[in-house]
């Protein structure tokens, strides 16, 4: 009945109820076992107490009756043989012994308990009375002085009555012992029954424990193992795992919750993967997806093509970023369609979008002619104008290509990674832009050059701090008088390990990476320090220093120049800063403000390499410059080329009409110098006059120049 009830309760839909019922029954059974054991112990204690209080005490009382009877007999024997004078001391003993017998028989009779005991006590009492009568007769004879008769009564009827009373007492003792034995047997029987009951209950508890363990394992442990296994697989990224557990209890609900969680995590993981590996704007794979595909071995020998959307920055600035984004979306659609139409035997080209307006195409196993054909196909796909928010936009792509070289036989070197190919392709894009080409392949030698440039760039700050950057000076000569008017400071890097490093190796790279300010600061410091030293003996000479676009776009640059001049106590009116046309046109308004601040400090300004860059005459006339420097490309062999002569004449006249002095650079032949003097050029600079000189050589050069041979050219 009980197991059936437990089975019924175990089917309860709540696991907590089932466990509470099962373990509650087990606890109740164990409590029953403990209660029965306590009751049995209490019963045994009661039996023991009863034996100690009653049974043993009664047996001792029966034994005392024997002792007092024997004592009474001994006292009577002394009466028979004692003279009258001594009897007075013996009578109290006789009376006391008999009184004790009376008392004991009375006490036993008061608690007889059962009829058999009462009958035995009655028999003892009867025999006691007989003994008492004989005892009185003996005492009477003794007091009468008839000792022989008293002795005869004592040895005859007296001894018989005493022996009869002792026999009754022993029978009573036997009866009491028998009762004690029966009680002990009853207790033993009760203990045996209790042992069987406790043993049965213990076996029941053990059986219930085994049943609970089995049911717990079946309904708790195994489902928990399923949940644990599923949780481990979910933690390992297997979000498709499901727990097959059809149960209405808490574990079933936990399984359902785990399944729901796995589904939700799978959805979120897919979303995260989409965000992590897909470009949000175009829906194309991103750089992370390219790396993942490369790790998975998608390409054996990859060719990487980077396509940079030219003039995207202009579109963003003029038409807005939304238009720029719409442009990128349309370009992506056209490139996706063009890539999809490429038929290849194995893995097709992989199109992805990188940050900015750059798209990447990765193809496997293409030789360079095939890669060029793919580039032309992609370029053609975007040649038609795109319409973005009502604006027609022409798109031009600049491509950079890089491929992994075929592995030579026995080559065990590491393969070229996708990141390396992307980097090389990006360098190729930069090279194509510098050369104003539509595309360019990465050249291995360029990588070595750039590695050297990076190495130098990392040492540039230390070089400036330790005086490795030196200012070499090249004289500038007045063409009309032949006098020295100033010098141009040119940077030279005296490297402790590589010797002198050409400026062409680190100046362009420093400009592109934003580190050119280190060089500018070093040259300005050297120039102002030299001007401070010249302020007495060569106060009419100026020093020109080249500054970069980053310098003249910095509103704080004039303040730094002024602070440096104050610290070195150098005259700013003898410092000349040279800038290029392209530098001005990158941000004309900002540059104009900085140039006016410099001019306000007294600094002289020059336009360097005039004619080689993009400029605007409208901005040129607004510049606070006092010198126009003609690039070497206009001067070389101009005496032999009528068109070059005419162009030189025009530039010189333009400079003079703008109230500027005109300086020609790169003069290497006397004929070139004569032509420039004939055309009215003011100042000449070049190897024909003097090569750039180290500081000590420049000092010696100045010492060899008479003071009258120097003249200042009007600003």
**Strand blocks (E) in 366-433:** 386-388, 391-393, 397-403
* Helices vs strands, H then E, count in the chain: 27, 16
3-state secondary structure of 405: coil
pLDDT of residue 53: 63
pLDDT in tens, 543-570: 999 998 888 888 999 999 999 999 999 9
Band (pLDDT 50/70/90 cuts) for residue 14 is: low
With a pLDDT cut of 90, the percent of the chain lying above it is 18
- Which helix (H) or strand (E) segment holds residue 380: the answer is helix 368-381
Q: Crossing angle for the helix pair 670-678 and 642-657, nearest 10 degrees?
A: 50
Collect all residues with Cβ–Cβ distance below 8 Å to 243 and sequence separation of at least 6: 226, 227, 230, 255, 258, 259
3-class SS of residue 604: strand
314 conformational bin, left if phi > 0, alpha if psi -120 to 50, beta if neither: alpha
1 pLDDT higher than 80: no
Average of per-residue pLDDT across 506-513: 75
Residue 411 has pLDDT above 50, yes or no: no
CB 624 within 8 A of CB 596: yes
The per-residue pLDDT for range 563-584, each reduced to its tens digit, is: 999 999 999 999 999 988 777 7
Q: Which of 212-216, 318-322, 354-358, 684-688 ranks highest by mean pLDDT?
A: 684-688
CATH architecture of 451-700: Alpha-Beta Barrel (3.20)
Beta-strand relationship, 683-685 and 627-630: unpaired
Cα–Cα distance measured from residue 175 to residue 455, given in angstroms and rounded to the nearest whole number: 122
pLDDT(449) > 90: no
Residues of the chain with CATH 3.30.70.270: 287-404+417-445
Burial of 392 (0-12, 13-18, 19+ CB in 10 A): exposed
Q: What would the mean pLDDT of 71-92 be, rounded to a whole number?
A: 79
Range in 278-292, 322-336, 405-419 with the lowest mean pLDDT? 405-419
What is the predicted pLDDT for the residue at 712?
Answer: 39
The pLDDT of residue 431: 82
CA distances from 449 to 404, 445, 453, 502 (A): 19, 6, 6, 13
Q: Report pLDDT for 473.
A: 94
Confidence at residue 569, expressed as pLDDT on a 0 to 100 scale: 93
Question: Which of 44-53, 158-167, 636-645 is least confident?
Answer: 44-53
pLDDT band at residue 500 under the 50/70/90 scheme:
confident
Tell me what pLDDT residue 584 has: 73
Nearest CA-CA partner of 634 in 619, 620, 624, 645: 645
Cβ neighbors of 358 (< 8 A, separation 6 or more) are 306, 307, 308, 309, 429
Domain 287-404+417-445 fold is Alpha-Beta Plaits (3.30.70)
Q: Which of 269-273, 467-471, 479-483, 639-643 has the lowest mean pLDDT?
A: 269-273
Six token digits for residue 194: 């209790």
- Give φ, ψ of 313 to 5 degrees: -60, -40
Is the pLDDT reported for residue 255 higher than 50? Answer: yes
**pLDDT per residue over 169-183, tens digit each?**
787 777 777 777 777
Cα 360 from chain centre: 32
Q: Of the segments 47-56, 67-76, 523-532, which one has the largest average pLDDT value?
A: 523-532
**Nearest alpha carbon to residue 400 among 334, 309, 304, 285:** 304
CA 664 to chain centre: 63
Domain with CATH 3.20.20.450 in the chain: 451-700
Q: What is the pTM of this model?
A: 0.51
Q: Select the more confidently predicted residue: 134 or 11.
A: 134
């Amino acid at each position: 009945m009980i197991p059936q009830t437990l089975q019924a309760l175990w089917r309860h839909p709540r696991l907590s109820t089932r466990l509470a019922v099962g373990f509650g029954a087990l606890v109740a059974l164990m409590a029953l076992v403990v209660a029965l054991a306590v009751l049995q112990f209490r019963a045994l204690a009661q039996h023991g107490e009863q034996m100690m209080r009653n049974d043993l005490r009664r047996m001792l009382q029966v034994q005392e009756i024997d002792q007092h009877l024997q004592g009474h007999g001994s006292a009577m024997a002394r009466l028979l043989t004692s003279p009258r004078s001594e009897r007075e001391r013996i009578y109290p003993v006789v009376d006391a012994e008999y009184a004790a017998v009376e008392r004991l028989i009375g006490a036993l009779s008061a608690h007889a308990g059962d009829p058999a005991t009462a009958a035995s006590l009655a028999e003892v009492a009867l025999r006691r009375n007989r003994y008492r009568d004989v005892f009185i007769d003996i005492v009477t004879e003794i007091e009468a002085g008839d000792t022989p008769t008293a002795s005869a009564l004592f040895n005859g009827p007296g001894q018989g009555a005493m022996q009869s009373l002792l026999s009754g007492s022993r029978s009573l003792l036997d009866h009491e012992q028998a009762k004690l034995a029966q009680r002990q047997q009853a207790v033993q029987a009760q203990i045996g029954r209790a042992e069987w009951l406790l043993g049965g209950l213990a076996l029941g508890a053990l059986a219930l424990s085994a049943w609970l363990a089995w049911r717990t394992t079946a309904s708790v442990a195994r489902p928990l193992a399923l949940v644990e296994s599923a949780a481990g697989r979910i933690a390992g990224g297997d979000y498709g795992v499901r727990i097959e557990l059809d149960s209405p209890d808490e574990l079933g609900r936990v399984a359902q919750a785990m399944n729901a969680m796995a589904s939700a995590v799978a959805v979120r993981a897919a979303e995260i993967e989409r965000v992590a590996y897909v470009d949000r704007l175009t829906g194309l794979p991103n750089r992370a997806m390219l790396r993942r595909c490369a790790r998975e071995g998608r390409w054996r020998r990859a060719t990487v093509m980077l396509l940079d959307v030219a003039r995207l920055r202009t579109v963003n600035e003029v038409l807005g970023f939304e238009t720029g984004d719409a442009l990128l979306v349309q370009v992506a659609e056209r490139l996706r369609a063009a890539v999809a139409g490429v038929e290849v035997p194995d893995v097709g080209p992989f199109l992805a979008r990188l940050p900015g307006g750059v798209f990447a195409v990765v193809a496997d196993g293409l030789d360079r002619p095939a890669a060029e054909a793919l580039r032309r196909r992609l370029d053609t796909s975007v040649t038609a104008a795109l319409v973005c928010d009502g604006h027609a936009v022409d798109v031009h792509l600049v491509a950079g290509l890089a491929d992994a070289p075929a592995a030579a036989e026995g080559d065990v070197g590491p393969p070229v990674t996708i990141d390396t190919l992307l980097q090389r392709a990006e360098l190729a894009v930069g090279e194509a832009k510098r050369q104003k080409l539509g595309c360019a392949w990465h050249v291995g030698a360029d990588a070595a050059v750039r590695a050297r440039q990076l190495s130098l760039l990392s040492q540039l700050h230390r070089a400036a701090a330790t005086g490795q950057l030196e200012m070499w000076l090249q004289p500038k000569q007045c063409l009309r008088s032949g006098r020295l008017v100033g010098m141009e400071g040119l940077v030279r890097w005296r490297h402790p390990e590589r010797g002198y490093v050409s400026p062409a190796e680190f100046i362009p790279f420093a400009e592109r990476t934003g580190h050119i300010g280190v060089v500018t600061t070093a040259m300005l410091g050297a120039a102002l320090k030299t001007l401070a030293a010249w302020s007495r003996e060569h106060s009419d000479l100026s020093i020109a220093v080249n500054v970069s676009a980053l310098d003249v776009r910095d509103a704080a640059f004039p303040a730094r120049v002024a602070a440096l001049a104050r610290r070195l106590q150098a005259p700013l009116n003898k410092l000349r800063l040279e800038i290029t046309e392209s530098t001005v046109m990158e941000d004309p308004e900002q540059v104009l403000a900085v140039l006016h601040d410099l001019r306000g400090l007294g600094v002289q300004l020059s336009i360097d390499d005039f004619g080689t860059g993009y400029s605007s005459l409208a901005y040129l006339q607004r510049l606070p410059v006092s010198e126009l420097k003609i690039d070497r490309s206009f001067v070389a062999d101009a005496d032999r080329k009528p068109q070059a002569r005419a162009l030189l004449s025009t530039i010189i006249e333009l400079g003079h009409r703008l109230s500027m002095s005109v300086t020609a650079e790169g003069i290497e032949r006397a004929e070139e110098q004569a032509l420039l003097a004939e055309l009215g050029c003011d100042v000449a600079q070049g190897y024909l006059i003097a090569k750039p000189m180290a500081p000590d050589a420049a000092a010696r050069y100045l010492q060899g120049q008479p003071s009258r041979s120097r003249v200042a050219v009007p600003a």
